[in-house]
Amino acid sequence: MTPVLVDSNVLLDVATRDPQWEAWSAGALQRAADEAVLVINPIIYAEVSIGFDRVEDLEQALPVDLYRRDALPFEAAFLAGKCFLAYRRRKGSRTSTLPDLYYAE
């Protein structure tokens, strides 16, 4: 099965029961789970953790049998840096490397 890196916003929409986005995000997550291996990485884990008081609750929300946990290889960090440089040259306003530029596989 093809891996799909799950965006932290989708996970937070479902975990926090966001009134505007929960239904859409839950549906997208279910469709992805039906067709692919769901993947998270350390950045996604950290971003989702803000919605939880305890690591045990986060672990329950992101069970290892449903979400494969991939490391971020140094090659991905290098490419993320290059993407960020291109973003800044196009007048992007953020001042640090965007987490969404990392991809592990």
Provide the percentage of residues in the chain whose pLDDT is more than 90.
Answer: 63
In angstroms, the Cα distances linking 30 to 45, 60, 91, 97, 98 are 19, 17, 36, 30, 26
- pTM, 2 dp: 0.78
CA distance 58 to 60: 5
Give the model's pLDDT for residue 84: 83
Tens digit of each residue's pLDDT (9 = 90 or more) over 65-74: 999 999 888 8
CA distance 30 to 33: 5
Q: Is 3 exposed, middle or buried (0-12, 13-18, 19+ CB in 10 A)?
A: middle
Give the model's pLDDT for residue 73: 84
CA distance 59 to 77: 25
Tens digit of each residue's pLDDT (9 = 90 or more) over 13-31: 999 999 999 999 999 999 9
pLDDT at 35 over 90: yes
- The chain-wide mean pLDDT, for the chain, equals 89
pLDDT at 64 over 80: yes
Tens digit of each residue's pLDDT (9 = 90 or more) over 73-102: 888 888 888 888 888 899 888 776 666 666
